[in-house]
């Protein structure tokens, strides 16, 4: 893993609320790219703090296997909130 990616993962893990606040201001495509590059533990912490609609928009841009991997790794209540924020056809 390159230095920038390791720093990003450590920042998200150590400061998920602050990272979420910054990442929510990005376009959904950039949020998705950033989120999917993180280790599973960091993604889980980030999604706990992201607004459900921001997480849903980003995950809807991911390929189904990637989105499923992320949703399986997070708490059920967080996954449920994200899925509720998605359009029915995207679930």
Instruction: Quote the pLDDT of residue 55.
Output: 95
- pLDDT class of 1 with cuts at 50, 70, 90: low
**Are the C-beta atoms of residues 70 and 46 closer than 8 Å to each other?**
no
Task: Return all residues near 90 (Cβ < 8 A) that are at least 6 apart.
Answer: 56, 60
Which pTM was predicted? Answer: 0.85
Arithmetic mean of pLDDT, 65-79: 91
Instruction: Give the separation between CA 54 and CA 50, rounded to whole angstroms.
Output: 7
């Amino acid at each position: 893993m390159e230095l920038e990616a390791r720093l990003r993962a450590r920042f998200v893990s150590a400061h998920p609320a602050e990272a979420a606040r910054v990442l929510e201001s990005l376009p959904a495509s950039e949020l998705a790219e950033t989120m999917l590059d993180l280790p599973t533990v960091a993604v889980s912490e980030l999604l706990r703090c992201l607004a459900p609609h921001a997480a849903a928009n980003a995950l809807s841009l991911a390929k189904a296997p990637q989105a499923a991997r992320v949703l399986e790794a997070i708490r059920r209540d967080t996954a449920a909130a994200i899925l509720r924020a998605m359009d029915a056809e995207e679930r």
